[in-house]
Chain A
Amino acid sequence: MTEAARKIEQRPLRGAIRIEDAVKIYGDPQSGVIAVDHCSLECPPGEITMVVGPSGCGKTTLLNAIAGFHSLTSGKIYLDGEMLCGPGRPKADPGPERIVVFQNGALFPWKTNLDNVTFGPMMQGTMSASEARDKARILMAEAGLSSIVHEYPGQVSSGMRRRVEIVRALMNDPKVLLLDEPYRALDALTKSVMHESLLQTCYRNRVTVFFITHDLEEAIFLGDQVAIMTSRPCRTKKILKIDLPHPRDHHTRTTKRFRELMDETMETVHEEAQKAFELGEREG
């Protein structure tokens, strides 16, 4: 075990998120669109919380509130007991301890992959240029990205771009990774490889993950818990602990327990999807 890995191992777990009664109304508080309605959710530190719900249900609103990109109408969000936003402070400040990996990626196309990855520590002044570059090379090598260090994001595959982006996030030594359907655009085979790679990353870095998806299989394979959200407005419908043992790999998908969990959740998720579908029908 490397020294860095031992340091992470011995560090107390951090990055507990607690969402209490979050409400988000777009537009006028009386007549506006309610995106999130008294939603509460707890993400244990160092664990992967998968947030599943129909498209457009308000999951991303929740993620933006944690990241500090958008405000909440009411409710509170805590990180390790510290209030990020709440009464008198509707919007959290964005910070390097909460890094978002976006659906379509937000790597800077004008920087090489390496310069993208070193951007965070350079901006925060936590590392010198050469330290940042050394650390970036190590993390990129671990993620199988050594060959594309000096290329631009536009020159590599979308699967590689996602991995670069997760490495860029990890370089900030975040407490929480906020992932907004990062693998949505990938094909099934790439996706399954990406899942294993993400798990490896999480085992190594012990970071709390808040992962939005509407792929149930992805949710169960990756998650320590799966939060199933209601269709608009977003509320926590059911929280499911996933007791599949770690470390998981692609064999996990074929186990009996995996199937059972799929069956268990499918019913609930389908119900919400049906509701969202009908809602869409009526609005259309």
Chain B
Amino acid sequence: MIASANMQLSARAGIRAVIAIAATVIFWEVTSRSGEWTGVAIPMMSVIPPPSRVLLAWYGLIGDFGYWQSWYLSFLRVLAGFGAAMLLGIPFGMFLALSRTFYQITFPPFEVLRPIPPLAWVPAAILFWPTQELSIAFITFLGAFYTIVINVVGGARSIDARYVQSAYAMGASRWTLFRRVIFPATLPSIIVGAAVGMGITWEVVVAAEMISGGGSSMGQGAGSGTGGGLGFFIWNSYTGGSYEQIVVGMISIGIAGYLSSSAIRVLGNLIAPWLKAR
């Protein structure tokens, strides 16, 4: 009974989602084509290529090496920056939460650097890092790092004292206390930080690619978008006048971001199954 009711609910949700997306696409198609159909062009919307032409352009890109190269490069940069942010951010946040001395020394400079938007780092990063690739990865790293650290600190500091007390009473040593109690108790916050950080990473990588020119070594693929990452793909389509491809690039980033968050969700459920169980 309950199962079928749930299925009905999710079926209804699915139908609503399809209708909403379809309505948006139809609205977009009609408004952007009204100029050629009725002779009355709708301001602003008529500049945007209609979804049918976008799809056509996308279809043309499916076999295009440069397009997939863009996906690959952006993913690589996101993974590098995000991975480094997790690798450094989790222990850094743990130290901040657990050692008062470390907190007092490092938190003030951290808090001064934190409000600087990652994109403000672009020129400095280009000057500092020997290759363009490293500077882009550095900027994506910054995007995720602060969020992850703040979440880890918050999570580790709000651990219920009773967990620690009962673990001590049951004979846990300092190290096992950290490994068996403090770390798993912080995991939910780490997962939240990772999900938010992943979103920021995609925002940042695209902007960094646009600004820095998408990496030095790639530059052949002609007008069909070169292999400089999805951000550079969009920028290149814009300068090349291929407006359909701009939209293709935008939707591609949307899909890539969605895939990344889904991966984080799946991984989160795997390493913290008790959260799903609730």
Q: Indicate, yes or no, whether A interacts with B.
A: yes
A213 within 8 A of B: no
The reply to whether B165 and A96 contact each other, CB–CB distance below 8 Å, is: no
Known pairs A110-B184, A123-B176, A124-B170; A100 contacts B272 (CB<8 A): no
The reply to whether A119 and B163 contact each other, CB–CB distance below 8 Å, is: no
The reply to whether B172 and A110 contact each other, CB–CB distance below 8 Å, is: no
What interface size band does chain A fall in? 20 to 34
The reply to whether B185 and A110 contact each other, CB–CB distance below 8 Å, is: yes
The reply to whether A106 and B160 contact each other, CB–CB distance below 8 Å, is: yes
Within 8 A of A (CB), among B263-278: 272-274, 277-278
Known pairs A69-B165, A106-B162, A108-B163; A99 contacts B277 (CB<8 A): no
**B interface residues, how many (CB within 8 angstroms):** 23
The reply to whether A67 and B165 contact each other, CB–CB distance below 8 Å, is: yes
Interface segment among A36-44, A135-143, A150-158, A274-282: the answer is: A150-158
The reply to whether B184 and A99 contact each other, CB–CB distance below 8 Å, is: no
By beta carbon, the residue of chain A nearest B273 is A152
B128 within 8 A of A: no
By beta carbon, the residue of chain B nearest A112 is B274
CB-defined contacts of B278 to chain A, threshold 8 Å: 152, 154-155
User: Which residue of A69, A102, A151, A172 is within 8 Å of B170 (Cβ)?
Assistant: A172
The reply to whether A155 and B277 contact each other, CB–CB distance below 8 Å, is: yes
Can you list, as one digit per residue, whether each of B179-207 has a CB less than 8 Å from chain A (1) or not (0)? 01100110100000000000000000000
The reply to whether B171 and A106 contact each other, CB–CB distance below 8 Å, is: no
Complex Cα spacing A172 to B176, Å: 17
The reply to whether A123 and B170 contact each other, CB–CB distance below 8 Å, is: yes
Can you list, as one digit per residue, whether each of B9-29 has a CB less than 8 Å from chain A (1) or not (0)? 000000000000000000000
Can you list, as one digit per residue, whether each of A76-120 has a CB less than 8 Å from chain B (1) or not (0)? 000000000000000000111011101010101111000000011
CB-defined contacts of A94 to chain B, threshold 8 Å: 165, 168-169
By beta carbon, the residue of chain B nearest A155 is B277
A75 within 8 A of B: no
A159 within 8 A of B: no
A175–chain B nearest beta-carbon distance, Å: 12
Additional 15 contacts, C-beta under 8 A, given A96-B170, A151-B277? A67-B169, A94-B165, A96-B169, A99-B166, A99-B170, A100-B166, A104-B162, A106-B165, A108-B184, A110-B185, A110-B187, A111-B274, A123-B172, A152-B277, A172-B170
